Structure 1
Amino acid sequence: MTTKGMASTSTSTQVPEHSPRLYNDDLAPASERKWGAFSVFNVWTSDVHSLYGYFLAASLFLVAGGTFKFIIGIGVGSLVIYGLMTLIGKAGVRTGVPYPVLARASFGTFGANVPALVRAVVATFWYGAQTSAAAGAIVAFLTRYGGPRHLHETTHLLGHSGLEVVCFLGVWAAQLLIISRGMETVRRFQDFAGPVVWLMMLVLAVALSVKAGAVSFSVDMPAKELATLAKSSTGLNVTPGSLAAIAAIAATWVTYFAALFLNFGDFARFVPDEKTLRKGNVWGLPVNLILFSFVAALTTAAASKVYGQVILEPAEISAKFDSVFLVLLAALTFAVATLGINVVANFVSPAFDFANLAPKYMDFRRGGLLAAVIALLLYPLHPWDNAPSFVNAIGSTMGPIFGVIVVDYYLIRKSRIDVAALYQEDGEFRFQRGWNVRAFAAAAVGAVFSSLLPVYGPAGYSATLGPYSWFIGVVVSGLLYLAVTGGRSPAGR
């Protein structure tokens, strides 16, 4: 069952001689491939068109010091994202398996649970953060009225206001309802959410530009204050508008997508062929990301003219509108947008990742429910209050894993994998009792350069190379893995 360049519309879900410790119907190769280019496009609209996606784009706009330099940085980053996503997406199309199963080829049949859990923990964290952000957009609208505002100001529970808790639980339940109906419902939801969010972003930009009396592409702020705000919102210690700033923008934009570099195959496995994948990725990544970032920059600049201050939160901007209809429309749209990214980026992955731990007892729906419950339990602690500072840190933990998987699949195995063996305990991917020690060693060394040195190393290392920690992790772990294997597939027994 070796695959290369698979282009068929379906793959058998029946894997002969599979182990119940490694197989269930949700982890099996995809049986239906109904995701066209439009659905792939909307994976990306759902992933970036969120409150935090807007916040990051607007923050990087400040780092750029101008629209032209901003578009250059975002454009370069978006092209890199396209190339890397297409690499991992092809593996999903060709094998038809989700990320934790593909990781078995590199880390071993049971060792793959470690990189799967790393991704699951990160996704669960962001699930809670995005749910809280969506609830915040609704709270911003409701507090315009006396009753909800009174509840918000006088009732407190679990470190939050009563209104915040109610809205969080509502958004949390809505997401759970979507995911509980399976991947086909996920596809239909994102096909709705993506275009709706784009429409609202344009309405926001046009409304603010009209109110400002002109189309603006800059913010009125002294250079020193701009640098301070840019650093506080992004953590980047660069001079706005410099060449280093443009490079850091590109690197940070790539790092923002670090988690999906690992598990984009969870979606690509439902695409019928590589041509469809590339078409969806072209429109969804460089084209969509550049246009979205441009609109975010335009909105930020216009809002600074209208309100006399730089506002990076779109919900805060829309809450200032005089029109109740526009405020409601914006609140609902941002909530839908955040539901979209949570379902795509932060719910599907842990559902598969947790299912991979015990396939006999945990399926896709139960894995998703577990992720949702963990995020709910984290809510009283609100660990995501400082979420922006975690972008590079989180991305850096993903780089070494990605480097090993890509080198193993493309350079060592030449895109050829015995898919059936991925579900066999004593097959090709047994390695050392289900663990590939070489892969873990390479990833661990890469993590030193990508995760530990930026935090605990010399200050100069963090200031200079911090924004590029994800790339360093990819290169170090990938090259080291290539070296320790001698460029040959490690023995499976």
Structure 2
Amino acid sequence: MNKDGNYLKSQDLLPISHQNRNIGPFGFSVIWIGMAIVLAAFAMGGGGVQSLSLPMVILATLIGSVAIGIFMVIIGDIGVEHGLSFPVYMRAPFGTIGTHIPSIVRGVTAASWFGINTYFGSTAMNGILTLLFGYDNWFICFLIFAAVQLFNTSLGIKSIERFADLAAPVIILISCWMYVTLADQAAENGKDIWNWVETPVTGGAAFTAFMVVVMSNMGFWGTLAADMPSLSRYFKAPANERNWFKRNKTQLAGSLIIMPIFNTLMVVIGAVSYIALNNYDPVFALQEAASGFVLGILLLMIVLAQWSTNTSANVIPAATIFSNVGGPKVPFWVGVLVAGIIGILAQPWNLFDVLSTALLVIGGILSSIVGILFADYYMIRKRRVNVYDLYEMNGQFKYMKGFNLAGLISWIVGGIIANLLPAYSSLVGFVAGAFLYYLLAKYWWFAKYKQAELEDPSDEKYLGITVGRDWDIAVDEELGVIPETVNEQI
């Protein structure tokens, strides 16, 4: 802790400087390929074709993917512009202490997804060991797989990007093979995958089923949309660039093209698997469709896919949040360990039956946060942020004993409204959160607690990379921390 007792200046949460941002458009696109391989996508596909045709499921998935991709890019500008992580910026709309409440909810959600994807990968690992040695113990595989992923994440963001470079082409190959094999198997059973529907619905019921697929996709990736700054602060961006699109070019291809394509491909594979085998689990599908050496290689690819997904999409965001909550005494690697423990204690093997329902609920809760971030960053502050005070215990973001009631009220009410309309939860949550926060913050809270960037809206003082600024936050020399080296910690 600093000599002044300031627990907000955790070394892992300081702004990332321009020269130390090392992920470019290609690197982020490759990371996205790995992140898209998740059990939730297969489940959404399997659930979708129970009521809708495969073309309608694909259309709904593309709409949901592009919509949440837009949210990701918009919120990701916080990290690109100022080098700030999600839990640090959340001090603005929620307060220096209030930030911990929604942040912990997001962190626990990410840690739980880590557990779910680890379980999925461990079943594939168990299949490999059973095939090779006759060893059958998925729980031991689960513990080993969890430990290996956590160790990989603790090594840093660059090691994750290198791993994604290895996993991406493998994932593309397995995806193509699985689609062809499962489609052939469905044809052998007399099912046309493009026209088959288990229980067709029409009229209003069809539209509701369509929107459930849209919202489920938004709900799952809503976790990353809210937390994108924790990843985007490592993205390469040109200094002194005032064009928003040019400054955010690292994000655009990955979130608006690569993610929708590969997320949709995974949904299709889950749908075709359900049509062919009445089961959307690709591990089950592979064991039914292949054997011997080919089966072993394909199962290994599943393991690599989950590994790549978990590190970028789940462990990094959760660990960053837990590090922020704990302050300087909880470094990033401890946050990684906490995320792993929560993921295991969540007992992910018992969560599959409620997965679709959970995605809609989570979508409403998290999209409300995304709406609040949008309103605070773009509509009220207009991208100008008094970053120095984000790290001060008694600065402008202390508000009322560390809480911004405008943010907390907007989040709670927005989340409730969203879940009253579950088929539209992500959109309703975003609009409700943004609208409520704008009104409460602008006309009530900030009238009581003045904000420097609103009183003096200066680009030179309160913008970051747009004006060539690196935010140099002073910390205790005892920590031996220089902001420019912090990015090696994550």
- Is the shorter-chain TM-score for this pair beyond 0.5, marking a shared fold? yes
Q: Which AA in structure 2 matches 1:30?
A: I
Shift of 1:296: 4.1
1:244–1:424 Cα change, 3 Å? same
Do the aligned residues in 1 keep the contact of 2:37 with 2:263 (CA within 8 Å)? no
Partner of 1:113: 100
Instruction: Give 3-state SS (helix, strand or coil) of 2:11's partner.
Output: coil
Partner of 2:258: 288
1:240–1:216 Cα change, 3 Å? farther
State the alpha-carbon separation in 2 of the partners of residues 382 and 212 from structure 1.
29
Do the aligned residues in 1 keep the contact of 2:121 with 2:306 (CA within 8 Å)? yes
Match of 1:475 among 406, 419, 431: 431
* 1:218 and 2:193 aligned: yes
State the alpha-carbon separation in 2 of the partners of residues 226 and 300 from structure 1.
17
CA deviation digits over 1:375-398, x for unaligned, max 9?
233449845553333111122221
Pairing 1:141-290 to 2, within 5 Å after superposition: 141-144=128-131, 147-148=134-135, 152=136, 163-209=137-183, 218=193, 225-226=198-199, 242-273=206-237, 278-290=248-260
**C-alpha RMSD of the superposition:** 3.0
Partner of 1:359: 327
Shift of 1:410: 0.4
Partner of 1:72: 59
* 1:53 and 2:41 aligned: yes
CA deviation digits over 1:158-201, x for unaligned, max 9?
xxxxx011110111111111012122212222232233212210
State the alpha-carbon separation in 1 of the partners of residues 36 and 108 from structure 2.
20
State the alpha-carbon separation in 2 of the partners of residues 297 and 113 from structure 1.
34
Partner of 2:116: 129
Do the aligned residues in 1 keep the contact of 2:28 with 2:251 (CA within 8 Å)? yes
Under a length normalisation based on structure 2, what TM-score does the superposition of the two structures give?
Answer: 0.81
State the alpha-carbon separation in 1 of the partners of residues 78 and 147 from structure 2.
33
Q: Which structure 2 segments of 5+ residues have no match?
A: 238-243, 452-490
Q: Which AA in structure 2 matches 1:118?
A: V
* 1:85 and 2:75 aligned: no
State the alpha-carbon separation in 2 of the partners of residues 366 and 60 from structure 1.
39
Partner of 1:431: 399
State the alpha-carbon separation in 1 of the partners of residues 223 and 75 from structure 2.
12
State the alpha-carbon separation in 2 of the partners of residues 18 and 321 from structure 1.
63
Q: Which AA in structure 2 matches 1:133?
A: F
Instruction: Give 3-state SS (helix, strand or coil) of 2:6's partner.
Output: coil
CA deviation digits over 1:251-306, x for unaligned, max 9?
2211221111111111110112265775444433343344335544664576577x
State the alpha-carbon separation in 1 of the partners of residues 257 and 327 from structure 2.
38
Match of 1:320 among 246, 267, 288: 288
Q: Which AA in structure 2 matches 1:346?
A: N
Larger deviation, residues 267-276 vs 286-295: 286-295
1:202–1:241 Cα change, 3 Å? farther
Q: Which AA in structure 1 matches 2:229?
A: G
Partner of 2:440: 484
Shift of 1:314: 1.0
Q: Which AA in structure 1 matches 2:255?
A: L
Q: Which AA in structure 1 matches 2:13?
A: L
Shift of 1:437: 1.4
Partner of 1:404: 372
Larger deviation, residues 36-45 vs 417-426: 36-45
Shift of 1:365: 0.7
Number of residue pairs matched?
A: 439
Partner of 2:462: none
1:213–1:380 Cα change, 3 Å? closer
Do the aligned residues in 1 keep the contact of 2:61 with 2:267 (CA within 8 Å)? no
Partner of 2:338: 370
Instruction: Give 3-state SS (helix, strand or coil) of 2:110's partner.
Output: helix
CA deviation digits over 1:286-344, x for unaligned, max 9?
43344335544664576577x5x333111111111343122112211111111122111
CA deviation digits over 1:337-376, x for unaligned, max 9?
1112211122111211111112220011111111112223
Q: Which AA in structure 2 matches 1:131?
A: T
Larger deviation, residues 131-140 vs 379-388: 379-388
1:19–1:393 Cα change, 3 Å? same
State the alpha-carbon separation in 1 of the partners of residues 35 and 93 from structure 2.
27
Pairing 1:382-393 to 2, within 5 Å after superposition: 382-383=350-351, 386-393=354-361
Q: Which AA in structure 2 matches 1:482?
A: Y
Instruction: Give 3-state SS (helix, strand or coil) of 2:173's partner.
Output: helix
Do the aligned residues in 2 keep the contact of 1:412 with 1:487 (CA within 8 Å)? no
1:404–1:167 Cα change, 3 Å? same
1:332–1:39 Cα change, 3 Å? same
Q: Which AA in structure 1 matches 2:388?
A: A
Instruction: Give 3-state SS (helix, strand or coil) of 1:242's partner.
Output: helix
State the alpha-carbon separation in 2 of the partners of residues 387 and 448 from structure 1.
19
State the alpha-carbon separation in 2 of the partners of residues 171 and 376 from structure 1.
11
State the alpha-carbon separation in 1 of the partners of residues 80 and 443 from structure 2.
24
1:335–1:492 Cα change, 3 Å? farther
* 1:140 and 2:108 aligned: no
State the alpha-carbon separation in 1 of the partners of residues 202 and 300 from structure 2.
36
Pairing 1:408-423 to 2, within 5 Å after superposition: 408-423=376-391
Do the aligned residues in 1 keep the contact of 2:33 with 2:168 (CA within 8 Å)? yes
Do the aligned residues in 2 keep the contact of 1:141 with 1:319 (CA within 8 Å)? no
Partner of 1:24: 10
1:115–1:241 Cα change, 3 Å? closer
CA deviation digits over 1:376-425, x for unaligned, max 9?
33449845553333111122221222221110110000010021111011
Instruction: Give 3-state SS (helix, strand or coil) of 1:249's partner.
Output: helix
Q: Which AA in structure 2 matches 1:23?
A: K
Do the aligned residues in 2 keep the contact of 1:175 with 1:343 (CA within 8 Å)? yes
State the alpha-carbon separation in 1 of the partners of residues 398 and 423 from structure 2.
36
Q: Which AA in structure 1 matches 2:258?
A: N
